[in-house]
Structure 1
Amino acid sequence: MATETELKMLVPEEDIERLKSELSDMAGTAGEHKMLQNQYYDTPSLTLSGAKVALRIRRDGEAFIQTFKTQGRSINGLHQRQEWEWALATPQLDLQKLTEVEWPEALDKTQLQDQLLAIFSTDFTRTLWDIQWQGSELEVVIDQGCVVFEDPDTEQRYQEPICEVEIELKRGAEAAINSFAQQLQQQIPSLVPSDISKAQRGYRLFDCARNG
């Protein structure tokens, strides 16, 4: 288990290339590109969402990673939450792994395991830089793609664009994240802090598609 600390900002599409250029200059190298495909799971009644936890499987190249996250707290774009990750051999949920997590007391894992199904996906291209900043190590990424919900009843596809930058603290002082974000905002004033995670956006899309 690890505590993830990151700051998220929305990026207008017209400023993406400028932001990539700024980050490459700051890192001293071009960003690394990868395609990430993420499938989120819940029950038909969204029990996990109600308990403020998220369960997903991510495909990163040929690797599959199962992740369980708590909602944690989010203030002015700065997110802190607990996160567990496990490598998988196939893109199938391994519910035995969940014995390691801090599972909400109100939820019965035994009853839930037969109800879990794919709810929505977040698929995006990630451009990544490792940046040294004020004695701390930051991982800075730009994610471009979309949140997708495909209604199994109507076969209609709903989607919402993803265009955001995330600054994650890998080592050092939390203050470095805010300082780095302020520097980016000075260079590109259109960046806006966001307290909404990709999972929350997916659930919001699911709700809008189902309930209008």
Structure 2
Amino acid sequence: MASKRGRLDQFIARALQVSKKAVRQLLIDNKVLVDGKLAKAPDLQIDEFSHIVCNEVILQQYQKQYYMLNKPDGVVSATVDDKHPTALSLLAGINPDMLHIAGRLDLHSTGLLLITNDAKWSAALMAPDHKVDKHYLVTLANPIDESYIDAFANGMYFEFEDITTLPAQLTILSTYQARVVLREGKYHQIKRMFGRFRNPVVALHRESVGNIMLDNTLLPGEYRVLTKAEVDCIIQH
């Protein structure tokens, strides 16, 4: 989802169904407030979160929203789906308009899912250049050994996309379980990396993204609003 930037006069002309000449007169007459300040410039750049008032009528007042969801198995990371419940459908009482998912999880993967209407924030979250670590708890069908560690650290070449994955950190927790840290999110990446060892992933659970950790008080399917510190840690990363 891209940020919706544009000119103030174009927005008001569309919202009120008037000409740009009429909009210019409204600006001259001090009838327009943007984020609480008098607006004079027709070409003032606004976005979907600019608070816009014209002639004491609110034309736009969207607020930025940020949520964490403990995604259950069997829920799709999508806004609409004909076969399965969606992540947005679990946000009871929240208007899903403008919301999107920042960093999807597969149908049967579980754990931390971040949902927002702030496109700039989600872009920073997912951009490889920002190198935001994503921690996953992985359960395997077959035993794991030390040879996995170097293979993940060296990156793996995927011929279909003609790419080599960034170095990933793998820590063995037990015979069948490991923690994997990624700084990217290629298609089914973790499952495909373990697939090189012919070791199927039984369960994949995302524990954290950057400094945002899944709230362990949230049951599967529950959500909460992110704290200001959690929001800011992505922007400042």
Question: Relative contact order (alpha carbons < 8 A, sep ≥ 6): 1 or 2 greater?
Answer: 1
Q: TM-score range by the shorter chain?
A: under 0.3
Q: Structure 2 length normalisation: TM-score?
A: 0.24
Q: Structure 1 length normalisation: TM-score?
A: 0.26
For the pair shown, which has the larger CA radius of gyration, 1 or 2?
2
